[in-house]
């Protein structure tokens, strides 16, 4: 078995009777730990599990996470991550922004469970995988190499729509597959009413704690902060020097910062009501609009509607002025501009029609 990290062959000859204690902390799990997959090298690890680069019997490279029961105090972390995989696997292929979970299994004899996922791009070569050189392309690595980048749609609202919360949204848990950003690392994923433990990463956890959709929104706001500023989330709300940006880029940056500030409000009541609302604001910016002008126009339109019945549109055609209704977006999650409404000051907003 190809294993560039292996220090000696005895690791590969562990008897199943040795259990997990026979190989935890060493380089190689038993060769039969994950059926039909050759474990090539470890590419990530955490408190309770490891992620391996693997090759299937069809020759396809995959990422395999192995979670150890014996590494979990009272087995709580083991059971929690297994429950998260059970929740996520059925919906993992329902949205392009989720990492695909392709298979999962339990090896009671070795005291572990595993799940097989699509493999993220290599930092340099994309999906042209060279096992010995493979480095996963995560958002955190991209930020370090590029400094700043525009936000991506991470399908967070789709997760929430299915009644789940992630609890650990951060740049290192966002991978790229064929150039598309995907939400990964589902080890802490759960239902809000089951999120009894305090879990997450410092700087991405809101003051009220993790485990709710709005807490995920807060964490996503911090991810956007790091992505757009190149600064650490603990520096929030400081901004980098903008002297190197042209006028257009500076305008977009400040518009994005308005979205970030709202997402990262300390009081949950002042944050976006949902990930969809946050995404809706980002769509305005991506489409070249202005969130600042939009807010001003919405206030004016609200006053106009309260003072003049039917002042906008006719025959019931007007359904809303750009908000979070699903009809505002196409299947890929991008805004569909049906019509614009202008006020006396020349500002405009998107109108959503049936």
Could you please report the per-residue DSSP string of 78-91? HHHHHHHHHHHGGG
Residue ranges of domains in the chain, CATH in brackets: 1-135 (3.30.200.20), 138-286 (1.10.510.10), 291-352 (no CATH)
At residue 296, the pLDDT reads 78
Label residues 228-250 b or e (16+ Cβ within 10 Å = b). Answer: bbebebeebeeeeeeeeeeeeee
Mean pLDDT lowest among 16-30, 140-154, 160-174, 244-258: 16-30
> In the structure, what pLDDT confidence band is assigned to residue 150 with cuts at 50, 70 and 90?
low
Dump pLDDT digits (tens) for 179-198: 999 998 887 777 776 655 66
Q: In angstroms, rounded to a whole number, what is the distance separating the alpha carbons of residues 201 and 190?
A: 16
Whole-angstrom Cα distance, residue 233 to residue 247? 25
Helix axes 213-229, 275-286, angle to 10 degrees: 30
In this prediction, residues 300-304 reach a mean pLDDT of 81
pLDDT of residue 249: 85
User: Is the predicted pLDDT of residue 92 greater than 70, yes or no?
Assistant: yes
Torsion of CA 68, 70, 74, 80, to 10 degrees: 0
End-to-end CA distance of the chain: 58
pLDDT at 322 over 80: no
Q: pLDDT band for position 2 (50/70/90)?
A: very low
Per-residue model confidence (pLDDT) at position 265 = 96
Check pLDDT > 90 for residue 42.
yes
pLDDT at residue 147 above 50? yes
Q: Which tops the pLDDT comparison, 10 or 61?
A: 61
Looking up tokens 């050189």 gives 133
Q: Which residues pair with 37 in a beta bridge?
A: 56
Nearest to 216 by CA among 182, 244, 188, 248: 188
Per residue in 109-138, pLDDT (tens digit) is 888 999 999 999 999 999 999 999 999 999
Tokens at 70, concatenated: 């014996």
* Contact yes or no for 277/294 (Cβ under 8 A): no
Q: Which two tokens stand for residue 68?
A: 């150890």
Does 244 have pLDDT greater than 90? no
Confidence band of 146 (pLDDT split at 50, 70, 90):
confident
Q: How many CA atoms lie within 13 A of 338 on its CB side?
A: 16
Looking at the predicted structure, is the pLDDT value of residue 98 above 80? yes
Radius of gyration of the chain measured on its C-alpha atoms: 23
Cis peptide before 237 (omega within 30 of 0): yes
Compute the distance between CA of residue 22 and CA of residue 56 in angstroms, rounded to an integer: 25
């Amino acid at each position: 078995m190809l294993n560039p990290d292996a220090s000696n062959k005895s690791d590969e000859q562990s008897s199943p009777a040795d259990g997990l204690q026979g190989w935890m902390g060493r380089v190689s799990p038993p060769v039969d730990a994950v059926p039909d997959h050759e474990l090539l090298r470890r590419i990530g690890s955490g408190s309770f599990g490891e992620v391996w680069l693997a090759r299937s019997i069809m020759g396809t490279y995959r990422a395999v996470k192995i979670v150890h029961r014996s590494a979990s105090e009272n087995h709580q972390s083991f059971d929690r991550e297994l429950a998260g995989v059970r929740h996520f696997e059925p919906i993992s292929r329902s949205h392009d922004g989720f990492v695909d979970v392709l298979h999962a299994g339990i090896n009671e004899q070795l005291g572990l469970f595993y799940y097989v996922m699509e493999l993220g791009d290599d930092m340099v070569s994309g999906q042209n995988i060279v096992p010995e050189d493979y480095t996963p392309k995560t958002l955190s690595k991209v930020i370090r190499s590029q400094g700043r980048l525009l936000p991506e749609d991470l399908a967070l609202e789709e997760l929430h729509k299915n009644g789940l919360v992630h609890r650990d949204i951060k740049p290192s848990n966002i991978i790229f597959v064929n150039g598309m950003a995907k939400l990964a690392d589902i080890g802490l994923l759960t239902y809000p009413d089951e999120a009894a433990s305090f879990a997450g990463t410092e700087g991405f956890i809101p003051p009220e704690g993790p485990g709710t959709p709005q807490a995920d929104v807060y964490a996503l706001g911090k991810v956007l902060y790091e992505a757009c500023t190149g600064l650490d989330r603990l520096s929030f709300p400081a901004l980098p020097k903008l002297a190197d940006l042209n006028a257009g880029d500076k305008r977009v940056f400040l518009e994005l910062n308005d979205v970030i500030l709202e997402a990262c409000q300390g009081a949950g009541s002042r944050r976006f009501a949902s990930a969809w609302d946050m995404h809706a604001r980002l769509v305005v910016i991506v489409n070249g609009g202005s969130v600042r002008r939009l807010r001003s126009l919405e206030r004016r339109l609200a006053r106009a509607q309260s003072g003049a019945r039917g002042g906008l549109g006719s025959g019931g055609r007007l359904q809303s002025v750009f908000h979070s209704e699903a009809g505002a977006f196409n299947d890929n999650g991008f805004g569909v501009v049906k019509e614009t409404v202008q006020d006396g000051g020349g500002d405009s907003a998107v109108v959503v029609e049936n």
